[in-house]
Chains A and B, each alone.
Chain A
Amino acid sequence: MNANAKTKTRKRLQSSKELGRVITEYYMKCTSAKSEGIPVGWMPPMNGVIELFYAMDLQPVFPENWSPVCAAFGLTPQNFTVSENMGYSRDLCGYLRNIIGYVHGMIDDKNSPFGGLPEPDLLLTPWGGCVPVMKIFHALERRFPEAKIFRGDLPQVPIEEINDDHIAYVISEMHRLVEFLSHATGRRLDLDRLRETVALSDQACALWDEIMTYRTCIPAPFSAAEMGIMFVMVTLQGTQTAVDYLTMVRDEVRQRAADGAGVIENETFRLFWDNIPLWYNMGLFNYFEAAGGVMVAETYSAAWSIRMDPSDPFRALALKTLYSYPMVSCVSISKRKEMVIKACRDYHIDGVILHRNKSCAPITLGQMAIKRQLEDELGIPSVIIDADHMDARNFSMAQFQTRADAFMEMLAAKKQHRAS
């Protein structure tokens, strides 16, 4: 295969090109919010806070999501330099080192992509979720002492054990948050507006699920290389923008599936990616195409779609909050194994790429168990790729190619053996 693989992805969807407009508009809204008197709140993703924000006409900003933007624009090395000079260890998560470096460095540079991030008026610090995200917000509290702070409790419960006590507690935390937001911003929550927002979020999730379903088609109409579309699931859930954009993606993907349009001419191997992508090298997803491999599914994208019942919006927000993070982390490894096995069946997977991600122990832990179960239960081989979703210094292209090439050769031999 080509040893000089490009770091940018080769995209096939027209709607992926439209994504640039959606991203730009989102960040323009973030930066213009201040001048329009709209309070800006920084928060972690994967919870029901985003819907509350949009329902109260507040502007949510996701520092975690800003890190992939920095990676795509090649800004992470300078952010790492800033945070590492402050004493943050290179063994820490790259999201943490990047965002802390950013807020202590180039945040004031208005020439940064999309005009950069606006400073927060509100900080929503999570108790729970992964430790690095918690620690990011502790550092942000110190960096932005003027911001009003809400610390929300989110005990970590495996999905299979979530019960009414857990739900009731998270609902009570949601109500506490609404009280905080009302007090801090002077804005009141309209329950009907919240129901509408939750309904929009649910529509987005339904569209997302439908889009993913078309990837079960052979050939797959699009691959993980188009995963940027996930942006709307992270930053715009609960908005008409997300629904409109995903409708456009759905229509295109549905048409491609009906036409039998694949990602490459001869889709020979259907692959599955576990763990976060390498944001600085999304072109890696295209790498397998030369050997007939298409990355047709991944664990990470599944965690952003939790169907919601708008008739009971607070319960819906609580369930989303409780379910999202355990779906991709080590909180619920048995559930994750089950999800991967099901996905491998549904998407007719031939081989699995397990990204052993130095920046994310919570997702990486449990991968070996998944690897064994794939082999034992489905006879699906997998390969471990050592890398890092943010820090290119922890990734060797040559090592990756050696492993990836050998894996693809093994898949080819296996297929040939079956055919003979």
Chain B
Amino acid sequence: MSSHQIQSFADALKQSADHFHGLQQSGRKMIGYFCTYTPIEIIHAAGFIPVRLRGGPGTVEKAYSHVPDFICPYLKRCMENATDGRYDFLSGLVQGYTCDAACGVVNIFGDVVDLELIHAVPLPYADGEAARRYFHGVITTLADKLNAMDGRFSNEALQRSIALYEKIYGIIDQLYQQRLDGDLSIDAGDLQTIMDAGDVLTPEDYLRMLETLKKPPSEHGPQAIDGCPVIISGSLIESSVIFNLIASAGGRVVADDLCTGWRRAYPDYGHSEDPVDRLFYRHCTRRPCPSRSLAVDRSRVLTDLAARSGAKGVVFMVQKFCTPHLADYPILSDELKAHGLPSLLLEIDETWQTGEQLNNRLESFFDMIAASTAEKLS
């Protein structure tokens, strides 16, 4: 994978504002969303472009006229961007219900951005037949709302949209799998750049770019790479500074449990003939998000990932004030410890400024893992 290829994804991110306004001028309508639980296939099938709203590093000032300071930096930054007019290209906001803060921000978003549609999708938490039937109703409501704003949702269109996203997720999943196998030539920051570009491109353009990255697994097998192998877990990371920091402190990310990372691309849609059932299958079998799952279920995923990747520890990179992640941490760290996996909790604010303190903590963590590994070997 060449640096030129990665640069095209980075460029897409840099040029996103112009790109969105270009799409708007060409008559395309864009629907924003915060969480990857949002059924974006429905939005796309109705003829709109789903855009995951990015907060980005920065400060928060004007947003405090709308939100308290004790919600997560991501949502505060999104509100700040909204007050700055940076989402004026949007026609709507649709959010798959996950955490309290996102739900609240959805409900006040219309105070700062003039939108045709604002809708929180009340997704089921359970699986089973009653939940499946309920899910169909929820999806019908969303499709009706999108059609009311000149959308053209149909089951056939949904089949096509799922097929498109299936290809996208398939390529991404393969990249993560290659990283897990030690067979990916780019670092964690570059991989995240590839992922993030999906937020700002149409899925068709994104797929075209992803297809240029396809390559067969190396004939030479896994490559030896330096650094303490770790999993990074959290909600979203919007700055490659974090990955660079981990690398410079002596770590190497071999797998992730990030909302905007591997968790987004996994799993597939199953094999049902009914496209809504396929969405339901994916919804129910996704890797657990702390807003909707038990910490013990997450610990199973993390220990499994560690076993497959050879990770020696887990770095939890949590947005400050993020209740779902903070509330899971004590149980998760206990469970992981019981499986011989040390963990480190780092909290980050909206500036994404890391500083020496964070570096020291990471260095100590990796040193501790190295010492422990050496002790076991001796």
* Residues in chain A within 8 A of chain B (CB atoms): 86-89, 91-93, 96, 127-128, 130-132, 135, 138-139, 141-142, 151, 153-158, 161, 163, 165-166, 168-169, 172-173, 176, 329-334, 356, 358, 361-362, 364-369, 372
Contacts and interface: CB of A to CB of B under 8 A. Distances in A.
B134 A142 contact: no
Contacts of B101: 361, 365
Contacts of B68: 356, 358, 361, 364-365, 367
A329 B100 contact: yes
B327 interface: yes
Contacts of B320: 91
Interface stretch (B154-162, B273-281, B300-308, B329-337): B329-337
B269 interface: no
A366 B104 CA distance: 7
A153 B127 CA distance: 9
B107 interface: yes
Interface string B304-331: 0000000000000000110110111111
Contact of B328 (A135, A156, A176, A331): A135
B103 A331 contact: yes
Given A157-B122, A333-B107, A91 B291 contact: no
Contact of B70 (A91, A141, A172): A91
21 contacts: A87-B333, A88-B326, A89-B326, A93-B323, A130-B100, A138-B327, A142-B296, A154-B125, A155-B97, A163-B137, A163-B141, A166-B134, A330-B107, A333-B107, A333-B108, A334-B107, A358-B68, A361-B71, A362-B100, A366-B107, A372-B111
Contacts of A156: 97, 103, 120, 122
B282 interface: no
B182 interface: no
Given A87-B330, A89-B326, A365-B71, A330 B111 contact: no
A127 B333 contact: no
A154 B97 CA distance: 11
B100 A131 contact: yes
Best-buried of A131, A358, A368 by chain B (most CB within 10 Å): A131
B67 interface: yes
A52 to B, nearest CB: 18
Contact of B122 (A131, A166, A330): A166
A362 B324 CA distance: 13
Query: 10 shortest A-B CB distances, which residue pairs?
Result: A365-B104, A330-B104, A127-B125, A165-B137, A87-B330, A155-B122, A135-B327, A333-B107, A169-B134, A153-B126
Contacts of B134: 155, 165-166, 168-169
A131 B323 contact: yes
Nearest to B72: A361
Contact of B323 (A87, A334, A361): A361
Interface residues of B, number: 46
A336 to B, nearest CB: 9
A161 B295 CA distance: 31
Contact of B65 (A91, A364, A368): A368
A163 B137 CA distance: 10
Contacts of A333: 104, 107-108
Nearest to A162: B122
Contact of B66 (A91, A173, A368): A368
A330 B67 contact: no
Q: DSSP majority for the A interface?
A: helix
Best-buried of A93, A127, A154, A331 by chain B (most CB within 10 Å): A331
A157 B296 CA distance: 27
Contacts of B295: 138
A173 B321 CA distance: 32
A173 B331 CA distance: 28
A362 B327 contact: no
B214 interface: no
B97 A132 contact: no
A103 B179 CA distance: 42
Contacts of B97: 155-156
A87 B318 CA distance: 14
B125 A155 contact: yes
Given A135-B327, A165-B137, A172-B130, A158 B120 contact: yes
Given A91-B323, A142-B331, 8 more contacts: A87-B330, A88-B327, A138-B296, A169-B131, A330-B100, A333-B104, A362-B100, A369-B108
Best-buried of B97, B126, B133 by chain A (most CB within 10 Å): B126
Best-buried of B104, B108, B141, B345 by chain A (most CB within 10 Å): B104
Nearest to A165: B137
A161 B104 CA distance: 16
Nearest to A158: B120
Contacts of B108: 333, 365-366, 368-369
Given A356-B68, A365-B104, A92 B323 contact: yes
Given A87-B333, A365-B107, A165 B130 contact: no
A68 to B, nearest CB: 20
B99 interface: yes
